[in-house]
Every structure is written in C-alpha cells, then in structure tokens.
C-alpha cells in the first residue's frame, strides 16, 4: 500500500499540477541609452520566473491547462532604479479539437511605472501591497486567469477577478498612477471595476458564448459556431445600448477584431448583414477591418 502511495505521489509530481500561467516576459529597452543594460536583462529573467513560478490561486492546474500569455514591457525612461514603462498584456486559450489558440485579452497599460533594484526578490502576498511592480503583475495575472475561466463557464472567473480587485484596492493608497478613479477613465481602476459591475456583465457573458458555444464548436459544426459567435457579438452590443463607447467594448474588440474578420471571411456562409451593421455601430474604430468581411 505504501509503495502505491509513493508511486502516486511521484506521478503527480512528474505529470501533475503546476502554476496557472505559461507566460512569455520580454523587457524592451531600445529607448534607453544607459551604458549598463544588465539590469533590464535581470528584470526580464526575474520577472519571468516570478510570473511563471508563482501560484496565483488555490486551483490546481494540470501542466496542459496552463494559460498561454505574454507581458511585453517597453522601458521609456530609467533613472536611479525608477522605471517609466508601458505594458502590453496578451492571453489566449486553446480551441477544442484544434491546434488553434483564440485571443482572449489584449491590453496596453501606458502607466506601468515602478521602482526596481536589481536582484530584489519578488514575493506575492494577496493581502498586502509590497511594491508597485508586484502589485501590477499580480493584478494582471489574476485578470488573465479570471477572463480565461469566463471562457469556459459563464461568469466562472469571478473569484480571480475579485482577487485582482483586492490588489487594486490595496494599491490605491500607494499614490502610483493607474489605480484610482480620479485619473483618466481607462486605467486599472476602471478595468477591474467594470469587469465586476452588473452594468457590464454582457462582456463576460459574451466571452463564454463566443468561446464555449462558438469557437469550441467549430470542428463539429462551423455554421452553428458562426451563428453563436454572432449571438455573442450581439451580447456585447447590449453594453453599447446603455454605455456607448464603453471601455470594455474596446477591450473586447482589441482582442477579437482580427479574429472576427477571419472567421466570417471563409467557410460556410451565414447571413452577416445584421452582424456587419452591429460591428460598425458598436466598434466604429475598427470599420476598416469590418469592410474586409466577405459577404
């Protein structure tokens, strides 16, 4: 009996559970003329290890369930360990019975600013604000996990989004940019508050409809899958009816616009007249892309 337990433990440790994210972290410092660039390389390596080796939740993820994502940091200025940066965060999830991965989140944070001393340790405590860098990475890690969960079950990512909200609340007193409602209307404060607001539940409903009922059905029945994706886009349009030009509407199409054009430009034809009208009405900034959809 004891040997079987040992074998089971070895099996779990070798094949079993791991952290939630499989994240590519890149630090671009092309704009910086500092002679010592080693600190940027150290930051990239340390941050990559931190993101990928930290357990962000209590859920066990199998190795093949880890979420593909990336964090691309562009350093705009650097002075005495103070970094002024932007951050491009992207995540995707696999499509059932396919080798294709569908984009879920694509967001550019233009106030990714922090202080970092080379070789400092990163420690994640969900109930404390220890540094702005750790807080921001933790915030986006939980956003990624939460939105990914929403694509598999309706509103399934709530507890992860609440963890991101908790980190945002802890960070508000820090005085760092991007955390408060007194700043511009499209920052981390508004991102997480909108995600958890009843007003914007159609965004999260649409993630489930689009992926679970749409993309995951493509291998089985492309026409039905396309019809369900159309329904998901109409679900997003519910936001427009109460909040035209809403932040989350833009977030949705920043991730999905190119894919939508691709989906409806080939394969079994469906009636897209209403779809085209809806897309141009709720996301006019992407009108040049919508014009590429083939009727």
* Within-domain flag for 10: no
The pLDDT score that the predictor gives to residue 275 is: 93
| pLDDT tens digit sequence for 129-154 | 999 999 999 999 999 999 999 999 99
On whether both 48 and 85 belong to a single domain, the answer is yes
pLDDT tens profile 33-74: 877 899 999 999 999 999 999 999 888 888 888 999 999 999
Q: Do 164 and 64 belong to one domain?
A: yes
3: pLDDT strictly greater than 50: no
Same domain, residue pair 179 and 229: no
Q: What is the model's pTM?
A: 0.92
Boundary of a domain, candidates 196, 227, 258:
196
Number of domains in the chain: 2
pLDDT interval class at 12 (50, 70, 90): very low
Q: Name which residue leads in pLDDT, 168 or 184.
A: 168
Distances, alpha carbon 212 to alpha carbons 153, 206, 207, 220, in Å: 8, 10, 8, 12
**100 & 68 share domain:** yes
- Predicted confidence at residue 273, as pLDDT, reads 86
In percent, the amount of the chain with pLDDT more than 70 equals 94
Identify the bridge partners of residue 101 per DSSP, sorted by sequence position.
94
Give the C-alpha separation, 191 to 187, whole Å: 6
Q: Are residues 191 and 221 in the same domain?
A: no
Mark whether 45 and 111 lie in a shared domain.
yes
Residue 4 lies in a domain: no
Q: Does 6 map to a domain?
A: no
pLDDT at 248: 98
Kindly write down the DSSP assignment for every residue of 81-121, as one continuous string: TEEEEEEEEEEEEEPTTSS-EEEEEEEEEEEEEEE--TTPP
Residue 237 within any structural domain of the chain = yes
186 in the same domain as 245: no
Question: Across the chain, what does the average pLDDT equal?
Answer: 92
Euclidean distance between CA atoms 115 and 176, whole angstroms: 11
Residue 1 confidence (pLDDT) above 60: no
In a domain, 130, yes or no: yes
Strands (E), the chain: 17-18, 21-28, 61-62, 67-79, 82-94, 101-115
Q: Confirm whether 1 is domain-assigned.
A: no
Beta-bridge mates of residue 68? 22, 92
Domain encompassing residue 229: 217-291
Q: What integer is the mean pLDDT of 24-41?
A: 92
pLDDT at 183: 82
Whether 262 is in a domain gets the answer yes
In a domain, 202, yes or no: no
| 8, pLDDT greater than 60 | no
192 and 232 inside one domain? no
Same domain, 186 and 224: no
CB atoms within 10 A of CB 182: 7
């Amino acid at each position: 009996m004891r040997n079987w337990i040992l074998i089971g433990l070895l099996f779990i440790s070798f094949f079993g559970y791991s952290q939630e994210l499989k994240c590519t972290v890149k630090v671009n410092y092309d704009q910086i003329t500092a002679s010592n660039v080693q600190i940027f390389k150290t930051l990239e390596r340390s941050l990559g290890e931190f993101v990928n080796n930290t357990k962000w939740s209590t859920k066990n993820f199998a190795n093949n369930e880890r979420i593909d994502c990336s964090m691309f940091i562009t350093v705009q200025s650097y002075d005495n360990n103070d970094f002024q940066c932007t951050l491009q965060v992207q995540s995707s999830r696999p499509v059932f019975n396919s080798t294709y991965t569908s984009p879920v989140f694509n967001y550019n944070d233009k106030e990714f600013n922090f202080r970092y001393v080379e070789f400092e340790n990163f420690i994640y405590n969900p109930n404390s604000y220890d540094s702005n860098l750790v807080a921001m990475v933790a915030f986006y890690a939980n956003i990624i996990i939460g939105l990914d969960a929403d694509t598999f079950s309706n509103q399934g990512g709530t507890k992860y989004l609440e963890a991101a909200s908790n980190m945002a609340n802890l960070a508000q007193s820090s005085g760092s940019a991007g955390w408060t409602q007194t700043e511009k209307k499209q920052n981390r404060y508004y991102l997480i508050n909108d995600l958890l607001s009843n007003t914007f539940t159609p965004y999260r409903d649409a993630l489930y409809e689009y992926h679970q009922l749409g993309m995951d059905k493509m291998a089985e029945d492309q026409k039905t899958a396309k019809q369900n994706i159309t329904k998901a886009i109409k679900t997003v349009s519910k936001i427009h009816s109460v909040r035209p030009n809403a932040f989350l509407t833009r977030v949705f199409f920043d991730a999905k616009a190119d894919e939508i054009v691709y989906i409806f430009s080939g394969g079994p034809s469906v009636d897209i007249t209403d779809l085209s009208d809806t897309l141009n009405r709720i996301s006019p900034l992407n009108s040049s892309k919508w014009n590429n959809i083939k009727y």
